[in-house]
Protein backbone atom coordinates (compact mmCIF):
# COMPACT_ATOMS: atom_id res chain seq x y z
CA UNK A 1 0.00 0.00 0.00
CA UNK A 2 1.40 3.37 -0.98
CA UNK A 3 -0.74 5.83 0.89
CA UNK A 4 0.53 8.38 3.39
CA UNK A 5 -0.94 8.33 6.91
CA UNK A 6 -4.69 8.93 6.52
CA UNK A 7 -5.95 12.10 8.15
CA UNK A 8 -9.33 13.81 7.96
CA UNK A 9 -7.73 16.33 5.60
CA UNK A 10 -6.44 13.80 3.06
CA UNK A 11 -9.35 11.28 3.28
CA UNK A 12 -12.36 13.61 3.32
CA UNK A 13 -12.08 15.78 0.23
CA UNK A 14 -15.41 17.60 0.26
CA UNK A 15 -17.93 19.16 2.64
CA UNK A 16 -20.36 16.47 1.49
CA UNK A 17 -17.96 13.65 2.43
CA UNK A 18 -17.46 15.28 5.84
CA UNK A 19 -21.22 15.24 6.45
CA UNK A 20 -21.49 11.58 5.38
CA UNK A 21 -18.56 10.67 7.66
CA UNK A 22 -20.18 12.54 10.52
CA UNK A 23 -23.46 10.69 9.95
CA UNK A 24 -21.75 7.28 10.19
CA UNK A 25 -19.46 8.31 13.06
CA UNK A 26 -22.51 9.19 15.13
CA UNK A 27 -24.75 6.33 14.01
CA UNK A 28 -25.70 4.01 16.89
CA UNK A 29 -29.11 2.85 15.75
CA UNK A 30 -30.47 -0.36 17.30
CA UNK A 31 -31.57 -1.53 13.84
CA UNK A 32 -27.87 -2.09 13.17
CA UNK A 33 -26.39 -2.78 16.61
CA UNK A 34 -28.99 -5.16 18.08
CA UNK A 35 -28.93 -7.30 14.93
CA UNK A 36 -25.13 -7.44 14.85
CA UNK A 37 -24.97 -8.37 18.53
CA UNK A 38 -26.54 -11.71 17.62
CA UNK A 39 -23.36 -13.17 16.08
CA UNK A 40 -20.87 -10.30 15.72
CA UNK A 41 -21.63 -9.70 12.05
CA UNK A 42 -22.65 -6.04 11.89
CA UNK A 43 -24.42 -5.14 8.67
CA UNK A 44 -25.48 -1.76 7.36
CA UNK A 45 -27.49 -3.09 4.47
CA UNK A 46 -30.93 -4.55 3.93
CA UNK A 47 -32.17 -8.11 3.72
CA UNK A 48 -33.52 -10.40 1.04
CA UNK A 49 -35.74 -13.47 1.01
CA UNK A 50 -39.06 -14.40 2.58
CA UNK A 51 -39.35 -14.09 6.32
CA UNK A 52 -40.69 -16.88 8.48
CA UNK A 53 -44.22 -15.70 9.42
CA UNK A 54 -44.09 -17.70 12.67
CA UNK A 55 -41.83 -14.98 14.16
CA UNK A 56 -44.91 -12.77 14.40
CA UNK A 57 -46.78 -15.38 16.44
CA UNK A 58 -46.00 -16.87 19.84
CA UNK A 59 -45.25 -15.17 23.17
CA UNK A 60 -45.54 -11.37 23.02
CA UNK A 61 -42.55 -10.74 25.32
CA UNK A 62 -40.10 -12.45 22.91
CA UNK A 63 -41.77 -11.36 19.66
CA UNK A 64 -39.36 -8.52 19.03
CA UNK A 65 -36.30 -10.72 19.60
CA UNK A 66 -37.66 -13.18 17.04
CA UNK A 67 -38.22 -10.39 14.49
CA UNK A 68 -34.72 -8.99 15.05
CA UNK A 69 -33.11 -12.41 14.64
CA UNK A 70 -35.09 -12.95 11.44
CA UNK A 71 -34.11 -9.57 10.01
CA UNK A 72 -30.47 -10.36 10.76
CA UNK A 73 -30.80 -13.68 8.95
CA UNK A 74 -32.17 -11.88 5.87
CA UNK A 75 -29.35 -9.30 5.95
CA UNK A 76 -26.74 -12.05 6.21
CA UNK A 77 -28.43 -13.83 3.29
CA UNK A 78 -28.05 -10.64 1.25
CA UNK A 79 -24.28 -10.60 1.91
CA UNK A 80 -24.04 -14.32 1.01
CA UNK A 81 -25.70 -13.62 -2.33
CA UNK A 82 -23.26 -10.79 -3.01
CA UNK A 83 -20.30 -13.09 -2.22
CA UNK A 84 -21.79 -15.85 -4.43
CA UNK A 85 -21.13 -13.52 -7.39
CA UNK A 86 -17.45 -12.88 -6.74
CA UNK A 87 -16.51 -15.97 -8.76
CA UNK A 88 -13.62 -18.31 -7.89
CA UNK A 89 -11.65 -16.74 -5.07
CA UNK A 90 -8.68 -18.49 -3.48
CA UNK A 91 -7.02 -17.95 -0.12
CA UNK A 92 -4.11 -16.16 -1.82
CA UNK A 93 -6.40 -13.54 -3.38
CA UNK A 94 -6.83 -10.01 -2.14
CA UNK A 95 -10.30 -8.44 -1.91
CA UNK A 96 -11.61 -4.95 -1.19
CA UNK A 97 -14.85 -4.04 0.60
CA UNK A 98 -15.47 -0.47 -0.59
CA UNK A 99 -17.59 1.46 1.93
CA UNK A 100 -17.32 -1.37 4.47
CA UNK A 101 -19.47 -0.09 7.34
CA UNK A 102 -18.86 -2.15 10.50
CA UNK A 103 -17.32 -4.92 8.43
CA UNK A 104 -19.89 -7.76 8.39
CA UNK A 105 -19.51 -8.60 4.70
CA UNK A 106 -15.68 -8.50 4.93
CA UNK A 107 -15.63 -10.99 7.81
CA UNK A 108 -18.00 -13.29 5.91
CA UNK A 109 -15.79 -13.07 2.80
CA UNK A 110 -12.68 -14.08 4.73
CA UNK A 111 -14.54 -16.90 6.48
CA UNK A 112 -15.72 -18.22 3.12
CA UNK A 113 -12.65 -17.79 0.89
CA UNK A 114 -9.75 -17.51 3.35
CA UNK A 115 -8.61 -14.51 1.32
CA UNK A 116 -7.09 -11.30 2.59
CA UNK A 117 -9.82 -8.68 2.83
CA UNK A 118 -9.33 -4.95 3.24
CA UNK A 119 -12.29 -2.71 3.97
CA UNK A 120 -12.37 1.07 3.63
CA UNK A 121 -14.79 3.56 5.14
CA UNK A 122 -14.75 7.32 5.61
CA UNK A 123 -16.06 6.78 9.15
CA UNK A 124 -13.21 6.46 11.67
CA UNK A 125 -15.65 5.08 14.26
CA UNK A 126 -16.75 2.31 11.94
CA UNK A 127 -13.17 1.42 11.06
CA UNK A 128 -12.23 1.15 14.73
CA UNK A 129 -15.33 -0.91 15.49
CA UNK A 130 -14.71 -3.26 12.55
CA UNK A 131 -11.03 -3.75 13.47
CA UNK A 132 -12.13 -4.67 17.00
CA UNK A 133 -14.45 -7.31 15.55
CA UNK A 134 -11.63 -8.74 13.42
CA UNK A 135 -9.37 -8.90 16.49
CA UNK A 136 -12.07 -10.60 18.58
CA UNK A 137 -12.45 -13.22 15.84
CA UNK A 138 -8.67 -13.71 15.66
CA UNK A 139 -8.52 -12.74 11.97
CA UNK A 140 -6.96 -9.27 12.26
CA UNK A 141 -3.92 -10.42 10.24
CA UNK A 142 -6.18 -11.22 7.24
CA UNK A 143 -9.09 -8.76 7.58
CA UNK A 144 -8.16 -5.12 8.00
CA UNK A 145 -10.20 -1.98 8.00
CA UNK A 146 -8.89 1.44 7.02
CA UNK A 147 -9.98 5.04 7.25
CA UNK A 148 -9.72 5.66 3.51
CA UNK A 149 -11.74 7.14 0.70
CA UNK A 150 -12.90 4.53 -1.82
CA UNK A 151 -12.36 7.10 -4.59
CA UNK A 152 -8.66 7.19 -3.74
CA UNK A 153 -7.67 4.14 -1.68
CA UNK A 154 -3.90 4.01 -2.09
CA UNK A 155 -4.00 0.27 -2.95
CA UNK A 156 -1.67 -0.78 -5.71
CA UNK A 157 -2.73 -0.82 -9.35
CA UNK A 158 -3.84 -4.28 -10.53
CA UNK A 159 -3.47 -5.78 -7.03
CA UNK A 160 -7.05 -6.93 -6.35
CA UNK A 161 -8.96 -10.02 -7.49
CA UNK A 162 -12.34 -8.72 -6.35
CA UNK A 163 -14.02 -5.54 -5.14
CA UNK A 164 -17.54 -5.01 -3.91
CA UNK A 165 -19.80 -2.17 -2.83
CA UNK A 166 -22.56 -3.35 -0.55
CA UNK A 167 -24.98 -0.41 -0.53
CA UNK A 168 -22.28 2.23 -0.66
CA UNK A 169 -22.30 3.45 -4.29
CA UNK A 170 -24.99 6.08 -3.62
CA UNK A 171 -22.47 8.29 -1.81
CA UNK A 172 -20.12 8.88 -4.73
CA UNK A 173 -19.88 9.71 -8.41
CA UNK A 174 -20.01 6.37 -10.23
CA UNK A 175 -17.55 7.36 -12.96
CA UNK A 176 -14.94 8.30 -10.36
CA UNK A 177 -15.64 5.18 -8.31
CA UNK A 178 -15.42 2.72 -11.19
CA UNK A 179 -12.27 4.40 -12.51
CA UNK A 180 -10.63 3.72 -9.14
CA UNK A 181 -11.99 0.14 -9.03
CA UNK A 182 -10.76 -0.53 -12.58
CA UNK A 183 -7.31 0.75 -11.63
CA UNK A 184 -7.08 -1.61 -8.65
CA UNK A 185 -8.54 -4.77 -10.22
CA UNK A 186 -6.31 -7.23 -12.05
CA UNK A 187 -7.33 -8.24 -15.59
CA UNK A 188 -10.34 -10.58 -15.24
CA UNK A 189 -10.96 -9.39 -11.67
CA UNK A 190 -14.57 -9.26 -10.54
CA UNK A 191 -16.63 -6.33 -9.28
CA UNK A 192 -19.99 -6.81 -7.51
CA UNK A 193 -22.40 -4.27 -6.11
CA UNK A 194 -25.79 -4.43 -4.47
CA UNK A 195 -27.53 -1.10 -4.60
CA UNK A 196 -30.78 0.78 -4.70
CA UNK A 197 -31.18 2.78 -7.90
CA UNK A 198 -34.03 4.74 -9.37
CA UNK A 199 -35.86 3.71 -12.49
CA UNK A 200 -35.15 5.72 -15.66
CA UNK A 201 -38.30 4.26 -17.21
CA UNK A 202 -40.69 5.82 -14.67
CA UNK A 203 -38.98 9.21 -14.92
CA UNK A 204 -36.77 11.14 -12.52
CA UNK A 205 -36.37 10.81 -8.79
CA UNK A 206 -39.75 10.04 -7.22
CA UNK A 207 -40.85 11.64 -3.98
CA UNK A 208 -40.23 8.39 -2.08
CA UNK A 209 -36.70 8.12 -3.53
CA UNK A 210 -36.02 11.75 -2.56
CA UNK A 211 -37.08 10.96 1.01
CA UNK A 212 -34.61 8.06 1.14
CA UNK A 213 -31.83 10.35 -0.14
CA UNK A 214 -32.62 12.91 2.49
CA UNK A 215 -32.78 10.34 5.28
CA UNK A 216 -29.34 8.87 4.54
CA UNK A 217 -27.66 12.02 3.08
CA UNK A 218 -27.07 10.05 -0.11
CA UNK A 219 -27.63 10.57 -3.81
CA UNK A 220 -29.36 7.56 -5.35
CA UNK A 221 -28.30 7.14 -8.97
CA UNK A 222 -30.49 6.21 -11.93
CA UNK A 223 -30.11 2.63 -13.13
CA UNK A 224 -28.63 3.88 -16.43
CA UNK A 225 -25.66 5.55 -14.70
CA UNK A 226 -24.37 2.21 -13.44
CA UNK A 227 -24.05 0.72 -16.91
CA UNK A 228 -22.63 3.89 -18.48
CA UNK A 229 -20.02 4.22 -15.75
CA UNK A 230 -19.10 0.49 -15.85
CA UNK A 231 -18.71 0.51 -19.65
CA UNK A 232 -16.63 3.70 -19.50
CA UNK A 233 -14.20 1.93 -17.17
CA UNK A 234 -13.70 -1.46 -18.84
CA UNK A 235 -16.03 -3.22 -16.40
CA UNK A 236 -18.25 -5.58 -18.37
CA UNK A 237 -21.43 -6.91 -16.69
CA UNK A 238 -21.74 -10.68 -16.40
CA UNK A 239 -24.80 -10.74 -14.12
CA UNK A 240 -27.57 -8.29 -13.36
CA UNK A 241 -30.21 -9.44 -10.89
CA UNK A 242 -33.28 -7.48 -9.90
CA UNK A 243 -33.66 -8.20 -6.16
CA UNK A 244 -36.58 -5.80 -5.68
CA UNK A 245 -39.25 -8.46 -5.10
CA UNK A 246 -36.83 -10.31 -2.78
CA UNK A 247 -36.25 -7.33 -0.51
CA UNK A 248 -39.89 -6.26 -0.03
CA UNK A 249 -40.63 -8.91 2.68
CA UNK A 250 -37.65 -7.62 4.70
CA UNK A 251 -39.12 -4.11 4.67
CA UNK A 252 -42.57 -5.41 5.59
CA UNK A 253 -41.09 -7.23 8.58
CA UNK A 254 -38.91 -4.27 9.57
CA UNK A 255 -41.99 -2.01 9.56
CA UNK A 256 -43.51 -4.31 12.22
CA UNK A 257 -40.39 -4.29 14.44
CA UNK A 258 -39.42 -2.11 17.41
CA UNK A 259 -36.28 -1.01 15.54
CA UNK A 260 -38.15 0.61 12.63
CA UNK A 261 -36.67 4.03 11.85
CA UNK A 262 -39.53 5.60 9.88
CA UNK A 263 -37.89 5.11 6.48
CA UNK A 264 -39.70 1.79 5.92
CA UNK A 265 -42.73 3.33 4.20
CA UNK A 266 -40.77 5.33 1.59
CA UNK A 267 -38.83 2.15 0.70
CA UNK A 268 -42.02 0.12 0.39
CA UNK A 269 -43.74 2.84 -1.67
CA UNK A 270 -40.75 3.31 -3.99
CA UNK A 271 -40.36 -0.44 -4.61
CA UNK A 272 -44.08 -1.07 -5.06
CA UNK A 273 -44.66 1.87 -7.39
CA UNK A 274 -41.67 0.77 -9.50
CA UNK A 275 -39.68 4.00 -9.14
CA UNK A 276 -36.83 2.22 -7.34
CA UNK A 277 -35.03 -1.10 -7.76
CA UNK A 278 -32.77 -3.20 -5.57
CA UNK A 279 -30.14 -4.46 -7.98
CA UNK A 280 -27.11 -6.77 -7.93
CA UNK A 281 -24.58 -6.12 -10.67
CA UNK A 282 -21.48 -8.25 -11.25
CA UNK A 283 -18.89 -7.19 -13.81
CA UNK A 284 -15.48 -8.32 -15.02
CA UNK A 285 -12.47 -6.07 -15.52
CA UNK A 286 -11.15 -6.36 -19.05
> For residue 211, which of 270, 260, 158 has the smallest C-alpha distance?
270
Coil vs helix vs strand at 125: helix
| Alpha helical stretches, state H, 87-231 | 104-113, 124-136, 174-184, 207-216, 223-231
CB of 94: closest distance to ligand SAM in angstroms?
Answer: 18
Residue closer to ligand SAM, measured from CB, 89 or 122: 122
Closest distance of CB 29 from ligand SAM, Å: 12
Q: Which residue is nearest to ligand SAM (CB)?
A: 101
What contacts 213, CB < 8 A, 6 or more positions away? 170, 205, 219, 220
In the complex, the smallest distance separating the C-beta of residue 168 from ligand SAM, rounded to whole angstroms, is 4
Closest distance of CB 59 from ligand SAM, Å = 31
Question: Residue 159: CB partners within 8 Å, gap ≥ 6?
Answer: 94, 184, 186
Which residue, 70 or 97, is less far from ligand SAM as judged by CB? 97
Contacts of 84 (CB under 8 A, 6+ apart): none
- Closest separation between CB of residue 162 and ligand SAM, Å? 14
Asked if residues 49 and 81 have their Cβ atoms less than 8 Å apart, the reply is no
Q: For residues 35 and 235, which CB has a smaller minimum distance to ligand SAM in the complex? A: 35
- Give CA–CA dist 80/151, Å, rounded: 25
- Half-sphere exposure (CA, 13 Å, Cβ side) for 39? 14
The nearer residue to ligand SAM, 121 or 247, going by C-beta atoms, is 121
When the beta carbons of 133 and 149 are compared against ligand SAM, the nearer one is 149
Please, what is the minimum distance in Å from the beta carbon of residue 63 to ligand SAM?
26
Measured from the CB atom, is 37 or 62 closer to ligand SAM? 37
Cβ of 59: how many Cβ atoms within 10 Å?
8
Give least dist CB 283 to ligand SAM, A: 18
Report the distance separating Cα 59 and Cα 65, nearest Å: 11
Count CA atoms within 13 Å of residue 147 on its CB side. Answer: 22
Chain contacts with ligand SAM (rule: CB under 6 A): 17, 20, 24, 43-45, 99-101, 104-105, 120-123, 126, 149-151, 166-168, 171-172
Please say which residue, 17 or 159, places its beta carbon nearer to ligand SAM.
17
Amino acid sequence: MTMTTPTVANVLHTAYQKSVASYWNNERHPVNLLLGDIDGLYHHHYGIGDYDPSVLKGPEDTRDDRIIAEMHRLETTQAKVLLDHLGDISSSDHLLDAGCGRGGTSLMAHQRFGAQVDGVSISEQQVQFANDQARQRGVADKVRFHFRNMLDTGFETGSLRGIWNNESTMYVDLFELFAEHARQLEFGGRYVCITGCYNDVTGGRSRAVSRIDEHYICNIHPRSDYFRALAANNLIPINVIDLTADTIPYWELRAKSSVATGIEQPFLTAYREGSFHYLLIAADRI
